[in-house]
Structure 1
Amino acid sequence: MGENTWTPTGPALLFCPADRPERYAKALDRADMVILDLEDAIAQVNKAQARDALIGNPVAADRVIVRINPADTADHQLDLDAVASTPYRLVMQAKVESAAQLTAHGLPTIALIETPLGAVRVEEIAAAPNCVGLMWGAEDLVAGMGGSSSRFADDEAHPGRYRDIARYVRARVRLTAAAFGVAAVDSVHIDIADVDGLVAEVRDAVAQGYTATACIHPSQAAHIRDGYAPSAERIAWARTVLAGAEAHDGGVFAVDGQMIDGPVIAQARAVLSRVTDAPTDPPHS
């Protein structure tokens, strides 16, 4: 398990090109955390400019993640040098394919699993002592396999839904993050206009225990926040379950006809963990 623990300040993580410093504050205003991107959002000719902007325009360090280029690129060490000249210490490393690519620099790192090799080595990567989170990426993953699309097209049987290989990696990343006690960040929904698809994916991410969801447009952040916030009915259910757990001193009991035991009690605690004003949990039996 990683020796560093990290929990985002909220579930909506917004990518922002690092070469656009005029957008930093706006992005922070719309999202819970901002991923200042030195990788895919930046043309190669603008990489140096992006690093200079990152250094010269500091914002709230506790709400910033810096996405750095892959370990096998010339920009990787330049990115690390730039980060060292800022107050930021949390990075998201693109296209991670081994634990050694994280331990080489030692910074708290969200490992981005977006290549076939990274996907089959995700357990090794999560075990790196400075791995604090995992995120996965569908488009690079599919491109790395010679594929053309991570999702079914609108005219096929399952419009907008991930294809099996993407769903497999999404599930494997989530399972591995849970096994190694690190945060799990769900991938971006690249169709900005598809609000219904985004909302459905966020709800599914929450049901699987994802910690947060990344996004590429400010308009998506509010939908992500709404999706991670439990409904009033769900909060009431969770509080009833935890009160019953305390009253029954660990025994099995029922709430509205549902049998309540250890796993369901754990689910109730998970619901209340997403409520900022949730009361302290009853003591474990």
Structure 2
Amino acid sequence: MTFRMGPSLLFCPADRPDRFHKALDRADAVILDLEDGVDPGARAEARRALIDSPLDPRRTMVRVNPADTGDFLHDLEALRQTEYRSVMLAKTERPDHVERLNGYKVTVLCETARGVMAAEKLAQMSTVVALMWGAEDLVASLGGNGSRKPDGRYRDVAAHARSRVLLAAGSAGKAAIDAVHLDIADRAGLELEVEDAVACGFAATACIHPSQVSVIRDGYRPRPEQVEWARELVAAADGATGAFRFRGQMVDTPILRHAEQLLRRASA
């Protein structure tokens, strides 16, 4: 079954099966988390819940522990007892990590310095369907203690990693997923990040709380005036040769592609 990538991907701890269906009802897809969202002592219970409380595999991804850990082997054993075939691999750092998930569609989570530096190689792998980045683990891997400035913006190293993962995904024709916004109450900050993610070409944004879903969906949904602009521009381009003038703006092939991509998002 093909996983359907929607704009809002909601993490849900795999040891909380009481939340599974609620999470799926709220978001476009759910990421059942066997890694950081679960206390290490509760991971066996989480794997049992993963098996015993099935969701629609077309809208469910499972985040497993890093490939070089013992927990990963137990996660893989549990996965084999489910219909889930879409997997997010935590702290991916090398191609051979991905190769251990042969038979699955893999979203690689580049959230360490090594993972970000390997993003280009990882994106080229045939089993990789998407790339996501993570800010907090990245900064921790560098010996730092915070990914954001006091005003809430990402520090330069985090912004660089975000761009590098997006470019790696785009160069391979793969989807890129933007990182979670940890400050749940900061709706305005999330709105700004989603606006930027959409403008740059991210396919989706992950989140950690149901209240963030509507913000993400609204951000990825083109506004009526944007759709009107795009439709009129595409219509004006019909029969045009080369660059042309539209609403006082010079339009060439890249601008036309922007309009076409906006219309594709609107129809989706």
* TM-score category of the 2 structures, normalised to the smaller one: over 0.9
Name 1:114's counterpart in structure 2. Answer: 111
Q: 1:206 aligns with which of 198, 204, 226?
A: 198
Q: Which amino acid aligns with 2:20?
A: Y
Bigger Cα displacement from structure 2, 31-40 vs 251-260: 251-260
Q: 1:152 aligns with which of 149, 152, 166?
A: 149
Question: 1:276, 1:46 → 2: CA distance?
Answer: 42
Q: Which amino acid aligns with 1:23?
A: R
Question: 2:205, 2:252 → 1: CA distance?
Answer: 30
Q: Structure 1 residue 83 and structure 2 residue 79: aligned?
A: yes
Question: 2:112, 2:21 → 1: CA distance?
Answer: 32
Question: 1:18, 1:89 → 2: CA distance?
Answer: 16
Q: Structure 1 residue 53 and structure 2 residue 49: aligned?
A: yes
Query: Following TM superposition, by how much is the alpha carbon of 1:104 offset from its aligned partner in structure 2, in angstroms?
Result: 2.3
Q: Structure 1 residue 223 and structure 2 residue 219: aligned?
A: no
Answer whether contact 1:103 1:128 (CA < 8 A) is retained: no
Q: 1:264 aligns with which of 232, 255, 260?
A: 255
**SS at the partner of 1:202?**
helix
Name 1:167's counterpart in structure 2. Answer: 159
Name 2:35's counterpart in structure 1. Answer: 39
Question: 2:35, 2:264 → 1: CA distance?
Answer: 33
Question: 1:61, 1:272 → 2: CA distance?
Answer: 28
Answer whether contact 1:6 1:132 (CA < 8 A) is retained: no
Gaps of 5+ in 1: 154-158, 278-285
Name 1:23's counterpart in structure 2. Answer: 19
Name 1:123's counterpart in structure 2. Answer: 120
Name 2:61's counterpart in structure 1. Answer: 65
Q: Which amino acid aligns with 1:141?
A: L
Q: Which amino acid aligns with 1:259?
A: M
Name 1:11's counterpart in structure 2. Answer: 7
> Would you say how many aligned residue pairs link Structure 1 and Structure 2?
266
Question: 2:215, 2:239 → 1: CA distance?
Answer: 37
Answer whether contact 1:116 1:141 (CA < 8 A) is retained: yes
Query: Following TM superposition, by how much is the alpha carbon of 1:276 offset from its aligned partner in structure 2, in angstroms?
Result: 2.4
TM-score norm. by structure 2 comes to 0.97
Q: Structure 1 residue 253 and structure 2 residue 244: aligned?
A: yes
Gaps of 5+ in 2: none
Superimposed CA distance per residue, residues 224-283 of structure 1 (whole angstroms, 9 cap, x where no aligned partner): 0000001101001111111122231x4321210111110001101110111126xxxxxx
**SS at the partner of 2:61?**
strand
Question: 2:71, 2:105 → 1: CA distance?
Answer: 19
Q: 2:227 aligns with which of 212, 216, 235?
A: 235
Q: Structure 1 residue 136 and structure 2 residue 133: aligned?
A: yes
Q: Which amino acid aligns with 1:20?
A: R
Name 2:264's counterpart in structure 1. Answer: 273
Name 2:185's counterpart in structure 1. Answer: 193
Question: 1:167, 1:199 → 2: CA distance?
Answer: 17
Question: 1:261, 1:136 → 2: CA distance?
Answer: 32
Name 1:281's counterpart in structure 2. Answer: none
Answer whether contact 1:30 1:221 (CA < 8 A) is retained: yes
Question: 1:130, 1:6 → 2: CA distance?
Answer: 13
Superimposed CA distance per residue, residues 7-28 of structure 1 (whole angstroms, 9 cap, x where no aligned partner): 50x2000000011111011001
Q: Which amino acid aligns with 2:233?
A: V
Answer whether contact 1:13 1:34 (CA < 8 A) is retained: yes
Question: 1:33, 1:105 → 2: CA distance?
Answer: 21
